[in-house]
Structures are given as C-alpha cells and as structure tokens.
C-alpha cells in the first residue's frame, strides 16, 4: 500500500469542485458507488469510462477549489484512485482528501515533469514520486494528520476515539 503505481490523468489549474462533482447531484445522490459514475463529469467525460484503480490525477495549482463538498473526493476514492499530485490544493479539498485517506501530494516540480498518460510510482513512506523524467521528493504529512491517515481516514479514527472514551468511562465507573 505504501507504493502506488498507476496511469496519469493530467489536468490544468484551478479545477473546481463543481466540475469534479456537479452541485446538482449533491443532495440527491448519497451512495458513493453512484457518485463515482459522475466523477469529473463536467471536466473530462472520458475519465469515468477509462479510469482504473490506482490511477493518479496530476494537476496544476488549486485543484479542488470552490465548494466544500466532500463528494468531490468521495467519488474519486470510490473509483480507487491512487493519489492526486498537484501544485496546490483548494484548502477544504486538501483536508477532505486526508480525512478520506486519499493521498493528496503537493509537488510542483513533479507536476511540470510528468506527462499525461504515463505510468508513475508514488512511495508514500519515503516521500518520492518516480516518473519518466526522474524522481521527485514531496514534503511528508504532519504527524497529527498522519495518525488520521494511518487509521484509514477520519471516520475510522473517530470511531476508535469514541471507543477509547467509552471504555475509559466504563473502567472509571467500575
């Protein structure tokens, strides 16, 4: 799991969440499987038809700007996307990725070097992206955030914290 190998889908700057997951579906579709069918609908209709698990999105600056909708991450997580590498991310989008345990990596040099459709490798543990043009280092995640990532995302992390609190309270009552 620490090494992700996949084909690149390359996109430009300022791709917003409305084109990653259209707003008109946000209150009517709640099943992640259905969400996956509309991923990038307004950006690249070929994406959903051809994407494979572990594929990697490589984008310019400010990927995922705009609305806070988590479905714009959920739909890609459901597809089994391996990672997103961008020059920068929309703030909430970045948080949503980490909370869903979908690797969101910031590495401008790698984005410039990687070609569309090539197969690349990301090593999350050593923090290295390997592509045809060479190897690139990305900054590691902050330790506090890493614990959420290691738990498999914010949902399992919160579940574990709640269980810990409950068993602590039960012990105290005994």
Partner 1 sequence: MGQTFAEKILASKVGLKETVPGQIVEVVPDVALSHDNTAAIYGIFKRMGGVRVFNTEMHAIILDHATPAANTEHAENHRIIREFVKEQGIKYFFDAGRGICHQVLVEEGLALPGEVVLGSDSHTTHAGVMGTFGAGIGRSEMASIWALGKLWLRVPESLKIVVNDTLPSGVTSKDLALRVIGDLGADGGLYMSVEWHGEAIKALELSQRAVLTNIAAEMGVKNSYILPDQKTFAYLEGRAKRSYEPIYPDPDADYVRVVEYNASMLEPMVACPHTVDNVKPLSEVKGKHVDQAFLGTCTNARLDDLAAAAEVMKGRHVASRTRMVVIPASSEIYMEALRAGYIETFVNAGAMVESPGCGPCLGNHMGVPAVGDVVISTANRNFQGRMGTRESEIYLASPVVVAASAITGVIAYPKDLEETKP
Contact 91, 41 (CB under 8 A): no
Q: How far is the CB of 118 from partner 1 (least distance, A)?
A: 26
Q: How far is the CB of 107 from partner 1 (least distance, A)?
A: 16
Closest approach of Cβ 163 to partner 1, in Å? 7
Please, what is the minimum distance in Å from the beta carbon of residue 147 to partner 1?
A: 10
What does DSSP say about strands 104-106 and 83-86: parallel, antiparallel, or unpaired? parallel
Exposed e or buried b per residue across 99-124, where buried means at least 16 C-beta atoms within 10 angstroms of its C-beta: bbbbbbbbbeebbebbeeeeebebeb
CB-based burial of residue 24 (10 Å sphere; 0-12 exposed, 13-18 middle, 19+ buried)?
exposed
| Binding region for partner 1 (CB under 8 A) | 14, 16, 18-19, 22-24, 26-28, 30, 42, 61-62, 65-68, 70, 73, 88, 90-92, 95-96, 99-100, 142, 144-145, 148, 153-155, 157-159, 161-163
Specify whether the CB–CB gap between 15 and 21 falls below 8 A: no
Q: How far is the CB of 138 from partner 1 (least distance, A)?
A: 16
**CA torsion angle 121 54 16 60 (round to 10):** 10
Q: Which is nearer to partner 1, 61 or 130 (CB)?
A: 61
**What b-and-e string marks burial along 145-164, b requiring 16 or more CB atoms within 10 Å of the CB?**
eeebbebebbeebeeeeeee
Residue closer to partner 1 (CB basis): 3 or 34:
34
The residue (of 22 and 127) whose beta carbon lies closer to partner 1 is 22
Q: Which is nearer to partner 1, 67 or 76 (CB)?
A: 67
Among residues 45 and 53, whose Cβ is nearest to partner 1? 45
């Amino acid at each position: 799991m620490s090494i992700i190998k996949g084909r690149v889908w390359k996109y430009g700057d300022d791709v917003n969440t409305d084109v990653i997951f259209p707003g008109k579906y946000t209150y009517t579709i709640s099943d992640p499987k259905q969400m996956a069918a509309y991923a990038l609908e307004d950006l690249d209709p070929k994406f959903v038809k051809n994407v494979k698990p572990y594929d990697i999105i490589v984008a310019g600056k400010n990927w995922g700007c705009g609305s806070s909708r988590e479905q714009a991450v959920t739909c890609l997580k459901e597809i089994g996307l391996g990672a997103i590498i961008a020059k920068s991310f929309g703030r909430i989008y970045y948080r949503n990725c980490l909370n869903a345990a979908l690797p969101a990596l910031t590495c401008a040099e790698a984005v410039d070097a990687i070609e569309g459709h090539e197969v690349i490798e990301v090593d999350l543990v050593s923090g290295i992206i390997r592509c045809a043009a060479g190897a690139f280092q990305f900054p590691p995640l902050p330790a506090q955030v890493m614990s959420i990532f290691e738990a498999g995302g914010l949902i399992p992390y919160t579940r574990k914290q709640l269980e810990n609190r409950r068993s602590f309270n039960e012990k105290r009552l005994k």
